[in-house]
Amino acid sequence: MSGDRRRIGLPLAAIGGIAAVWLALGMMVGDSYYQLMLTLVPIWAVVGLSWNLLSGYSGLVSFGHASFFGLGAYTVTLALVLFDITPWLGIPLGIVVGAVAGAIIGFPTFRLRGHYFALAMLAYPLALLYVFEWLGYQEVALPMKRAAPGWYMQFGNYRVYLGIAVAFLVLALLISLAVERSRFGMSLLAIKQNEPAAEAAGIDTLRWKIRAIVLSGALCAAAGGLYAVVLLVVTPDSVFGVLTSAQALIVALFGGVATLWGPLIGAAVLVPLSETLQAQLGNIIPGIQGVVYGVAIVLVILLAPEGIYWRVRDRLVRRASRLRPEAVPALPAAIPLPVQPQPANRGEEEAPFLVVEHLSKSFGGLRAVEDVSFAVTRGSILGIIGPNGAGKTTLFNLLNGFVAPDRGRVALDGRVLTGLKPNRVCRLGVGRTFQVVRPFARMSVLHNVMIGAYVAERSDREALAAAQAAIEEVGLAARADAIAGGLTTKELRLMELARALAGRPRLVLMDEPLAGLGAGEVETILGVVRAIAAAGVTIVVIEHTMQAMVRLADRLVVLDHGQVIAAGAPDAVTRDPRVIEAYLGPKWTALRA
């Protein structure tokens, strides 16, 4: 994923090459059994790609892809058996059924997280399995249509099936490529990395997840339909069974998650291996196929948890960077930013831009934020300080919509933000940075920042331009193509700032932008933050490093036990006895006297 994402020629050529090689193999192999095997590899690769589209990119592990596979298979079969509809129409019909099933399953199930999501997904195909058994479709064979075999997708020559399967695979790879290289895939990856942060970056996470499961369901159903056509018989166990769901996940995991090559590698290795074993030893050792899959999973999880593709790629990348140390450009000296002299009364006479009124939030009995009110003028920097547990982070969560307040309201430029979802708040111009930076370690700085740019920009091209501008603004231009995993803490902080800026926010909430930095590094960040404010962006910042804060902020608001105990210019606030008591303890003044 490194390098320019416009460079799409290489993967396209690779897809073409793979298709050609596979078709050539099919031509060379004469034995119909091996031709069947060669046909099954692309089918399972499509299933793996479909799983990967949802679970690989978004990180929501599905144990229920057999639902889509089985619905596709049964749609094609029953359409032919009951209504004499050709699979040429049955497969598209199955795709529609799969997509609809994706939406029906997705809407309720995406409310669940982690374990619950995985378990709920497991239940769908099993429930369907029993329903189809009960309907009396224990074993449905596709009737032979000797009159017009071609019209009914029945070919004497297996190579035709192989050709169709390869065509499906190419289509699935192209779809995956398009997803991976667009805001679709990037949004899903952002969800995988940190769903709240993705919401805060303006990504409507539910919408992208629904799109992913609809597309995934459609692809999987297509594979299921083709499977029925090729094998000519479907049973609930073979298409809705746990092994089918497992196989979807195994080929993807084995080959590599969140890349289109992973499922392909997984299917190309595992399907022939297990089919051959089954054919050679199946009579003597009946469960050998399942054992092979089981062992493959265990080994992959222990040895290469993200799959073979990433394991090999990481090793190659590491070797390349060892051989060519100059490949990593040296970090240029911090770019001096013009720090504009700030008039003492800056913004004082202006109307407030951000207005917070009587904001309150309790968790259980704990009053985390209580009746907090303040206002910030456009382009100024407000610092929020207070001892541990004072309610600062809760206040931020209230400001950007992660948490709904019990009382009070937040308004930006006259527009009320309270009650909106975080991605809406972001779209209205509120950016946020997080205390712990979680970059997409394998992506370049540019791509990391682009995710932030999708909020404001319609096209991917505009997002690229906005990302480049933001990177320029924070002085990280020389490192734009570097892989985020290799950045220093300071560079990560700058990248995080750029990501927030790329969405063209009017207000940025910064949560501890200086945590973990050395003295010199702090100066760089301070310079960048001041420059951002000078450009007219309003900033609210939480920071513990008070030496830096008193020089950065125009005004400070001090929280203690969820309440505002002082507000004003830094020098006044730090001499306020109530503030000193909150920080140093109520007895400080008395003890020193």
Partner 1 sequence: MLEVEGLTVAYGGLTALSAVSLSVGEGQLIAIVGPNGAGKTTLFRAISGTVAPLAGTIRFEGRDLLAAAPAARAHLGIAHVPEGRQVFPSLSVYENLEMGAYSRAGRREWRRNLERIFALFPILEERRSQPAGTLSGGEQQMLAIGRGIASSPRLLMLDEPSMGLAPAIADLIFERIEALHREDGLSVLLVEQRVAEALQSCDMGYVLETGHIVLEGPQHVLLADDRVRRAYLGM
Partner 2 sequence: MDIAVENFAQALVAGLLVGAVYGLMCVGLGLIFGVMRVVNFAQGDFMMLGMYFSLYTVGGLGVLTILGPEAAPVAGALLAGPVLFAGGWLLHRLLLGRVTGTRAGGSGQDAQLILTLGIALILENGGLIAFGSTPQVVHRPLSWAAWQLPLISDHLGTVFVNKARRVACLVSVLVGGALYWFISRVRLGKALRAAADNPEAATYMGIDVDRAHGIAFGVGTGVTAIAGGLVATYYPFQPYVGFDFVIIMYAGVVLGGMGSILGAFWGGMTIGLVQQLSTLVLPLQLQNAAIFVVFLLVVQLRPQGLFGRNVERA
Q: Which of 12, 20, 27, 119 binds partner 2 (CB under 8 A)?
A: 119
- Name the residue nearer to partner 1 (CB basis): 204 or 543: 543
Residues paired with residue 140 on neighbouring β-strands, in sequence order: 234
Q: With CB cut-offs between 5 and 8 Å by kind, which of partner 2, partner 1, none does residue 88 bind?
A: none
Residue closer to partner 1 by CB (options 13, 436) is 436
Give 381's contacts (C-beta < 8 A, 6+ positions apart): 529, 530, 533, 539, 540, 541, 552, 553, 554, 555
Euclidean distance between CA atoms 62 and 53, whole angstroms? 11
Q: Binding to partner 1 by residue 170, rule CB under 8 A? A: no
Q: Using CB distances below 5 to 8 A depending on partner kind, what does residue 3 bind out of partner 2, partner 1, none?
A: none
DSSP H stretches of helix in 232-260 = 236-240, 242-255
The span of 126-134, 180-188, 216-224, 512-520 binding partner 2 (CB under 8 A) equals: 126-134
CB 217 within 8 A of CB 69: no
Q: Is 297 among the residues that bind partner 2 (CB under 8 A)? A: yes
**CB-based burial, 11-23: b 16+ in 10 Å, e otherwise:** beeebeebbeebb
Binding of residue 57 to partner 2 (CB under 8 A): no
- What one-character-per-residue DSSP string does 419-452 give? T--HHHHHHTTEEEE-SS----TTSBHHHHHHHH
CA–CA gap between residue 289 and residue 279 (Å, rounded) = 10
Question: By CB under 8 A, which span of 109-117, 176-184, 467-475, 546-554 interacts with partner 2?
Answer: 109-117
C-alpha 334/C-alpha 222 separation (Å) is 54
Question: Which span sits near partner 2 by CB under 8 A: 8-16, 146-154, 283-291, 444-452?
Answer: 283-291
Contact between 210 and partner 2 (CB under 8 A)?
no
Q: Draw the binding track, 529-548, toward partner 1 (x: CB under 8 A; -: no contact).
A: ---------------xxxxx
- The region of 66-74, 286-294, 311-319, 554-562 touching partner 2 under the rule CB under 8 A is 286-294
Q: Identify which of residues 426 and 566 has a Cβ nearer to partner 1 in the complex.
A: 566
Residue 103 interacts with partner 2 (CB under 8 A)?
no
Which span sits near partner 2 by CB under 8 A: 94-102, 103-111, 447-455, 514-522? 103-111
Q: Does 344 bind partner 1 (CB under 8 A)?
A: no
- Tell whether residue 572 is a contact of partner 1 (CB under 8 A): no
Q: Which residues pair with 376 in a beta bridge?
A: 354
Residue 45: which of 273, 264, 269, 307 has the closest Cα?
264
The answer for 528, left when phi > 0, alpha when psi is -120 to 50, beta otherwise, is alpha
Q: Does 284 bind partner 1 (CB under 8 A)?
A: no
Stretch that binds partner 1, among 22-30, 348-356, 472-480, 572-580 (CB under 8 A): 572-580
- The one-letter amino acid code at 57 reads Y
Q: Would you count residue 366 as binding partner 1 (CB under 8 A)?
A: yes
DSSP for 505-524? -SEEEEE-TTTT--HHHHHH
294 lies in the binding site for partner 2 (CB under 8 A): yes
Q: 529, 536 in Cβ contact below 8 A? A: no
- Rounded CA-CA distance 580/558 in Å is 11
Pinpoint the alpha helices (H) of 288-444.
288-303, 308-323, 392-400, 422-427
User: Considering CB distances under 5 to 8 angstroms, the limit depending on partner class, which of partner 2, partner 1, none binds residue 488?
Assistant: partner 1
Toward partner 2, which CB reaches closer, 132 or 161?
A: 132
Q: Which is nearer to partner 1, 473 or 496 (CB)?
A: 496
Residue length, the chain? 593
Q: Which residues from 234-273 bind partner 2, rule CB under 8 A?
A: 242-243, 246, 249, 253
47 binds partner 2 (CB under 8 A): no
Name the binder of 419 from partner 2, partner 1, none, CB < 5-8 A by kind: none
| 515 touches partner 1 (CB under 8 A) | yes
Question: Binding to partner 2 by residue 368, rule CB under 8 A?
Answer: no
Q: Closest separation between CB of residue 180 and partner 2, Å?
A: 20
Q: Tell me if 296 contacts partner 2 by CB under 8 A.
A: yes
Question: Rg of the Cα trace of the chain?
Answer: 29
What's the rounded Cα separation, in Å, for the pair 467 and 18?
A: 34
Among 33, 88, 116, 151, binds partner 2 (CB under 8 A): 116
Residues between 421 and 460 that touch partner 1 (CB under 8 A): 436
Element (H, E) at 564: strand 563-568
433: left (phi over 0), alpha (psi -120 to 50) or beta: beta
- Residues 412 and 387 sit within 8 Å (Cβ to Cβ): no
| 580 interacts with, out of partner 2, partner 1, none, CB within 5 to 8 A per kind | partner 1
Among 123, 404, 488, 578, which residue sits at the site for partner 1 (rule: CB under 8 A)?
Answer: 488
| Under rule CB under 8 A, residue 565 binds partner 1 | no
The single residue among 59, 92, 290, 389 that binds partner 1, judged by CB under 8 A, is 389
DSSP string, 151-196: TTT--SSHHHHHHHHHHHHHHHHHHHHHHHTSHHHHHHHHHHH-HH
Residues that bind partner 1 (CB under 8 A): 365-366, 387-389, 436, 488-489, 492, 512, 515-516, 544-551, 561, 570-571, 574, 579-580, 583-588, 590-592
Residues that bind partner 2 (CB under 8 A): 59, 61, 63, 108-109, 111-112, 114-116, 118-120, 122-124, 126-127, 130-131, 133-134, 242-243, 246, 249, 253, 285-291, 293-298, 301-302, 305
